[in-house]
Amino acid sequence: MTPTASSVTAPPDCAVVELRRYTLHPGQRDRLIGLFEREFIESQEAAGLAVLGQFCDLDDADRFVWLRGFADMASRPASLGAFYGGPVWQAHRDAANATMIDSDDVLLLRPAWPGAGLAAPAPRVAAPAGTCAVHVHPLAAPASDDLLALCRHTLAPQLASAGVRQQAWFVTEATPNNFPALPVREGESVLVCVAIFADLAALDAWAGFGPALAPWLARPTQQLRLLPTPRSALHA
């Protein structure tokens, strides 16, 4: 499939987002990225999905991470059914699946407050710059108003002052998975921060949130350092 901007019909605002983390067979990441960026971006967007960004994990050569958005939960089953039942996935699914050990590490999320999420992508550029930090904070209980106020009014401004180019905040979408053919992690609550820095040095210079979130955490935060792939819409 030849990429064309005119094929994009993804939702302008994403009320639901999947954070998808794939464990791959050794040495297969570049193969999957090439296939994904050639075949699976425009074909998903034509089905009403938003491919928000895709990344290499800088600390795990066999991990591929990406974000996919939906207009809302109600439209999610039809959009996923259109893509996975469509000709592009049917033609290339065996090649894609052959690169993967596990594709079930998926968090179903929603923006933590109005304006905290990610919009559907603008036209993509080649070789995007920047480095992405994704922090997954496992919570002992669903995110409270006090926690979200801290994030919105204290931690988000701290990120901005640290030189972050773009940020987004998400919490667990509690609605049950309405496309059971694709598993998601259910029965847990998380807070997820996505931050784009100009480069790896800027990311590594950031001190993080320290103990600010500790009272709400069930387990230590999982920190991902990610490099955008060539056609990632989310970059600096």
Which is nearest to 121 in space by CA: 30, 11, 203?
Answer: 11
Which is nearest to 210 in space by CA: 221, 218, 199, 219?
Answer: 221
**pLDDT above 60: residue 233:** yes
Split at pLDDT 50, 70, 90, the class of 234 is confident
Cα separation, 222 vs 236, in Å, equals 22
Cα separation, 222 vs 135, in Å, equals 6
Cα separation, 72 vs 79, in Å, equals 11
H or E, element range at 67: strand 63-70
pLDDT tens digits, 48-101: 999 999 999 999 999 999 999 999 999 999 999 999 999 999 999 999 999 999
Cα separation, 153 vs 163, in Å, equals 17
pLDDT tens digits, 153-202: 999 999 999 889 899 999 999 999 999 999 999 999 999 999 999 999 99
pLDDT tens digits, 204-217: 998 889 899 999 99
H or E, element range at 224: strand 222-228
**pLDDT above 70: residue 12:** no
